[in-house]
Amino acid sequence: MLHIIKCQHLISLQDNQESVYIRKGQNMKKIMIASDIHGSALYFRELMEAWKREAADRMLILGDILYHGPRNDLPAEYAPKKVISMLNPLKENLLCVRGNCDTEVDQMVLDFPILADYCFLDMDGQTIFATHGHVYNPQNPPMLKNGDILLNGHTHIPACKRFTTESGAKCTYMNPGSVSIPKEKSQHSYMIVENGVFEWKNMEGKVYHTWKKDTHC
């Protein structure tokens, strides 16, 4: 079961943004994790179908929601306004962190907060540090303790790897890959967390990797 501790700004862009992101006592049995939608209406519709099929309690989006980004080719059916119209009705089910392609203008058109730079989640006593990955990543990790999980998007490459911080903490790096622009021949994908088990799935719902505590990636 997941318990949300806190989501936090590194730099506050709106005076009330931080308070919006402090959520306590919200327990969830099942959470969907997705990242790097980049304004693709086609692949967001596929994600919506997966959302309905999975019947998750919440969706955590790890940033880069609407803008395709100058380093990327346009994704299939690039239509940010269509994505906005599908996202806003889900606002009560969404938790988001800011990607490097997300800005104040994106926040203006979305009915839920997206500008927190990181989020702490507690899963049965195990800490998950969720952030897009352009600031904190395995090469530049935040302050983590032994056994913590660093959850990133940004690379568009699914991942599950062990790494050790400079302080000697042995941690796990996870990445769901990209919804719309997967790289290195990976699949369009998302993750599901339920009962302490992490699953990587393609858009059809087929599991292609599984991880749980005290197992190797």
Residue 16 counted as domain residue:
no
pLDDT in tens, 130-156: 999 999 999 999 999 999 999 999 999
- 45 in a structural domain: yes
CA distances from 10 to 52, 95, 123, 202, 216 (A): 33, 17, 23, 32, 32
Cα gap 130→152, rounded to integer Å: 6
Q: Which two tokens stand for residue 154?
A: 């940004």
Question: Mean pLDDT, the chain, as a whole number?
Answer: 89
Taking residues 165-192, report their average pLDDT. 97
Query: Which phi and psi angles does 79 have, rounded to 5°?
Result: -155, 75
**18 in a domain, yes or no?**
no
- The verdict on residue 64 lying in a domain is yes
At residue 126, the pLDDT reads 80
Q: What pLDDT, on the 0 to 100 scale, is given for residue 20?
A: 31
pLDDT, position 14: 38
What's the rounded mean pLDDT across residues 116-127? 86
pLDDT digits (tens, 9 = 90+) for 197-214: 999 999 999 999 999 987
**Structural domain total, the chain:** 1
CATH number for the domain harbouring residue 205? 3.60.21.10
187 DSSP 8-state letter:
P
Q: What's the DSSP call for residue 76?
A: T
pLDDT per position as a tens digit, 2-58: 555 556 544 433 333 432 333 334 556 899 999 999 999 999 999 999 999 999 999
Contact 120, 148 (CB under 8 A): no
Domain presence at residue 20? no
Token look-up 């991880």 returns 211
Residue 21 lies in a domain: no
216 lies in a domain? Answer: no
Per-residue CA distances from 205 to 32, 146, 171, 182 (Å): 12, 32, 27, 16
Q: Tell me which residue range forms the domain holding 35.
A: 2-10+30-209
pTM (2 decimals)? 0.89
Alpha-carbon distances of 152 from 58, 77, 94, 96, rounded to whole Å: 17, 25, 17, 12
Residue 133: predicted pLDDT: 98
Measured CA to CA, the distance from residue 25 to residue 202 in angstroms comes to 31
Note whether residue 214 is domain-resident. Answer: no
Predicted confidence at residue 21, as pLDDT, reads: 35
